[in-house]
Amino acid sequence: MTQEVLNHTGDTNIKKSSLKEITEPVQEHLSVFREFFKDEISSDVFLLDQIIRYLLRQKGKEIRPTLVFMTARMFGSIDKRSFVAATMIELLHTATLIHDDVVDEADKRRGFLSINKIWRNKAGILLGDFLLSKGLLIALDHKEYQLLHVLSDAVRDMSEGELRQLKTSNLFNMTEERYFQIISEKTASLISACCQCGAIAASDDENIIEGMKEAGMKIGIAFQIKDDLFDYGLADVGKPTRNDIQERKVTLPFIYALDNASKFEQLNARRIMKKRNKTQKDIDKIVQFVHKHNGLELAETKMINYADEALQILQTLPIQRGYDDFKALVEFIITRKK
């Protein structure tokens, strides 16, 4: 990271590279969480039970519940409130992924055929609705009204961000300011909610809760910039998908490249990006344009700055333990390969 944040908690500063190593301090809690989550989404409706069993096989990185547990660990203990918070967030996140697959007509998710591909769009929409309702119910069943408020805010922001992006992409008037507003709403709001809920579960100190909300927002912005960098093929990413380019999504690398290009180059790049059906040659031209005008490097610098700012906020908070583990997770988020 560009600005090394000093360790101020007495933790040992051992470099951890893999996500499994990074999450080792909360692995036991993640294991309990998986069972807690499984129990909460169980159903005696045969078709729903079938789909849920299939869904549970699609294990992701579990970044969001990990953020909840690591935050709670820094400011207190991991208890039932932490599991409720993590489960609410994972239910919400999973529901949005399923709905996204329906909207995007996606065929695959995490290496598996998508739920809408196997059971069709109606089942995908209804499963997403079921998971959202379960997220609300678990909060009400445990009388976790503060957590429910935080997650409801996140749902609203995510929906507004998606609609804002849809309108902006149709008008092709994306600016850096609009880009950050959109990703703050559609991606960073949920990451922020993870950190905020983890803090709420462990502490009633408003400074801690507000500080983690702000830090989580910056981590979430860095997370989305990293995703946007993948499409333009960083050297260590492997074969990029180019989905954003195909779908005419204007993201930060392209915005920064436009800022550095001549008027003629800007017009040409915008013309190609607006094409609905791009050839491989068109896609290659966009990628070359972004590389030529330093769009990747500038976006990566911005991503690192947001991650650094998040860790600097943590320095101002009364952390009890686990700062280095949390820092390692943030570093993983901005250096991950996929």
Q: What is the pLDDT of residues 55-95, one digit of tens each?
A: 999 888 999 999 999 999 999 999 999 999 999 999 999 99
Which CATH number is 253's domain given?
1.10.600.10
Stretch 324-333: mean pLDDT: 97
- pLDDT-derived band at 5 (thresholds 50, 70, 90) equals very low
Q: Is residue 5 part of a domain?
A: no
List of residues 6+ apart from 300 with CB closer than 8 A: 225, 229, 234
Q: How many domains does the chain have?
A: 1
Q: Is residue 14 part of a domain?
A: no
**pLDDT over 50 (residue 8):** no
Q: Is residue 304 part of a domain?
A: yes
Q: Is residue 186 part of a domain?
A: yes
Q: Is residue 242 part of a domain?
A: yes
Mean pLDDT over all residues of the chain?
91
60: domain range? 19-317+325-335
Give per-residue pLDDT as tens, 190-223: 999 999 999 999 999 999 999 999 999 999 999 9
The whole-number pLDDT of residue 170 equals: 67
The whole-number pLDDT of residue 16 equals: 64
What is the distance between the alpha carbons of residues 59 and 270, in angstroms, rounded to a whole number? Answer: 38
What is the distance between the alpha carbons of residues 256 and 62, in angstroms, rounded to a whole number? Answer: 31
Q: Is residue 12 part of a domain?
A: no
Q: Is residue 115 part of a domain?
A: yes
Q: Is residue 7 part of a domain?
A: no
- pLDDT-derived band at 9 (thresholds 50, 70, 90) equals very low
